[in-house]
Structure formats: structure tokens, C-alpha cells
Amino acid sequence: MALNEFSNLADIVGHLFAEYPTSMSTVQEIEEAVRRLSPDEQASFRAWYAEFDAEEWDRHFETDVAAGRLDWLIAEARQDRREGRCTDR
């Protein structure tokens, strides 16, 4: 079955790893499974992982903002602006 016949990334990933153990419990096992993928399957996996990683980063950033962990950056930027240390570039 060609990868372009799938409707979403979850189906692609499921297909790619169908022949591999479903209970990969270590990073080493996952790395070995990825190494066994064909070049096309690796490209599909990289695309999926890039999107997954970006979404995880966004969630982490939003959590930090909501928790106030980045408030010091806002305060520092406002202070820099008040003291003329900012440019419009």
C-alpha cells in the first residue's frame, strides 16, 4: 500500500510500524525500529515527528506562559523599552 493512500498521519505511522513490536519500551528499541524503515518511510516519519515536536513545544510554551514562568521576560522587555534600549528593527 502506498503511503499517499492514507488519510492521516496516525494511519501512516501505524502502517509504518505494523511489522515492528508494538511494545517498544526504550529509546534504543525505537531507534532500531526507525533505522529499519525504508527511505520513504523515514521521510514520512520525520514529517510526522517534526509536527509532533512542534505541537509539544507549543503546549509546553503555553503552559509556561499561563503559569507565569515567563513573566520576567515581559518585565525585562518593558524595562528595556522604558530605558530606550529597544529599536524598531
Residue-wise pLDDT for 39-65, tens only, equals 999 999 999 999 999 999 999 999 999
Judge contact between 50 and 57, C-beta under 8 A: no
Dig out the grid coordinates for 60 from the structure.
509546553
Instruction: Grade residue 68 by pLDDT with cuts at 50, 70 and 90.
Output: very high
Residue-wise pLDDT for 14-33, tens only, equals 776 666 655 667 889 989 99
pTM for the structure as a whole: 0.55
Please name which of 43, 40, 39, 45 lies closest in space to residue 17, comparing C-alpha atoms: 45
| Coarse DSSP helix, strand, coil percentages of the chain, rounded to the nearest 5 percent | 65, 0, 35
User: In whole angstroms, what is the distance from residue 66 CA to residue 55 CA?
Assistant: 16
